[in-house]
Structure 1
């Protein structure tokens, strides 16, 4: 017997937001109603899906196991509903992309693609809910959030040290820079690994460890690249992501040493729309763009 649809919607919203209250706001019902629907799903499956600790909820192992499948199922249902309602595939393709990838890689990569205005690009952080947000294609770093979706690797990047063309290095190179000259990037708590000067120097077998509190600190690779272009210091950026700046001379690589990134940049989409012509055209174009600069 299939689980109740409302119960699955309540579980998906609660798992994604981490709150019965927020899920209720999204679904237009009370938090008590969300909790009741989740309990109905738990009874149906014979599994505890959340650990309830006061106002806090945490997914159990069973909840973590079924969440991506339920999110995918709701995405598939939404896609079918769209096609039935319109009698055809949706006219626009919604592409969701990480902020730095959008500005530094996707914008140049989309050059030459003719969509007749049928592509919408949204810049947002992970995770996105394909069904709820109407997303067709996600371009992101790693695919941990989207285990049950179609995933294709675009490329694996490496971290390079860059600065403005006119930025003058001391005689000892990057290692001799004062701590204040280093631009630090912190991607936030959602990422276990990120461009870090300490890791770059350690990989280079150097004892140098710049003080993160002495230099500029930003939350996005695109901002770090912009500060470096302005001559405000040396930044660590993914070579492929910042490739357009490097090839155009707006940034220059100041040291040949590179630090491999731990995950791939990927394209992700629901299997239900895999045959959609516009999706296939966009992914083919991005695939070719990734190969061109490899």
Structure 2
């Protein structure tokens, strides 16, 4: 039997090519697979040298497939979809009843884990496998349920809107007692501020949300403020706030447990609601009617309502 293995291109380069072709962008492909844009360009060059023909037409803000590129993309896309479906099936067979839930490390750490015992108390028969990642889970990841920021309608997945993002200042009760000037937005300019730095947003598609952007959204003119300490992971921001180091720019869904426990408080009521940034519950179509998925979905929505972020 004839084998096509001898004509297979470098498979890592093929994966990069598929992402670049799907997005029509080397930059977005780099963000998806967590490499630099130059690394994407090198992998595409490897493929073009392998075939001896251009696969993309490079333009100023995007790239377009050549006729040869379209042929390769159609086959590659179908092949990766098949591999992804087969991979998921293997995981399902090996899970033995486990429900795989995918979310960001931050959401899992600050929202899901504090409520995990409640889930176990409500539904002790659900066996969970928690899968975390730096950015929102991708649809080709091997999950049953995912909590994502943003969603593009895709066949085979059921999406339920959960909540919009909202940001507001938080600090400890002790910090507020030491800084009575924190009775209005103006008081924020007199105390240390804590935020995510730009490295956190480097490979994300969303506009960075920092204190400067928050002040602008609340109609405050750009002016000098006190020391700003920045971190590349949100749990570090929260840890610094809990240690009375300053006022943090907090996301409502990520600080809700700290607010419930009175570890953190809102020194002022002003906030910034980002209506274009909605979180979704993503479920594989073939699993949406299973008892485990229905139970988890019901529990998740009820907890979101209880935390006041819906």
Look up the match of 1:176: 187
> Is residue 291 of structure 1 aligned with residue 300 of structure 2?
no
Give 1:178 deviation, angstroms.
Answer: 4.9
- Structure-2 residue corresponding to 1:279: 293
Instruction: Give the Å deviation of 1:180.
Output: 6.5
The answer for unaligned runs of 5 or more in structure 1 is 23-30, 40-47
SS of structure 2 residue aligned to 1:254: coil
Q: How many residues align?
A: 261
Q: 1:24-43, aligned counterparts within 5 Å?
A: 35=47
Relative to structure 1, the CA distance from residue 143 to residue 90 in structure 2 (aligned partners, 3 Å threshold; closer, same or farther) is: farther
Q: Distance in 2 between matches of 1:231 and 1:246?
A: 15
After superposition, the Cα gap between the structure-2 partners of 1:68 and 1:264, relative to the gap in structure 1 and judged at 3 Å, is farther
Contact 1:150–1:270 under 8 Å retained in 2: yes
* Candidates 133, 147, 165, aligned match of 1:157: 165
Q: CA deviation at 1:98?
A: 1.1
Distance in structure 1 (CA, Å) of the matches to 2:245 and 2:182 = 19
Over 3 Å counting, the alpha-carbon distance change for 1:263 and 1:73 in structure 2 is farther
Instruction: Decide which moves more: 160-169 or 65-74.
Output: 65-74
Match of 1:240 among 253, 259, 273: 253
Which residue in the other structure is 1:215 paired with?
A: 228
2:28 is aligned with 1:15: no
What secondary structure sits across from 2:18 in the alignment? helix
Distance 2:112 2:296 in 1: 11
Equivalent-residue separation in structure 2 for 1:124 and 1:74 (angstroms): 21
**2:133 is the alignment partner of 1:124:** yes
Q: Distance in 1 between matches of 2:191 and 2:78?
A: 47
TM-score norm. by structure 2 comes to 0.67
Match of 1:44 in 2: none
| Structure 2, gaps ≥5 residues long | 21-28, 35-42
Q: For the Cα contact (< 8 Å) 2:168–2:252, is it kept in 1?
A: yes
Shift of 1:252: 0.8
Cα 1:127/1:259, change in 2 over 3 Å: closer
SS at match of 1:120: strand
Instruction: Quote the RMSD (CA, aligned, Å).
Output: 4.1
Partner of 2:108: 102
Tell me whether 1:197 sits opposite 2:203 in the alignment. Answer: no
CA change 1:136–1:210 in 2 (3 A) is farther
Name whichever of 215-224 and 103-112 sits farther off. 103-112
3-state SS of paired residue (2:129): strand
Whether 1:249 aligns to 2:262 is: yes
Kindly state the Cα deviation for residue 135 of structure 1 after the two structures are TM-superposed: 2.0
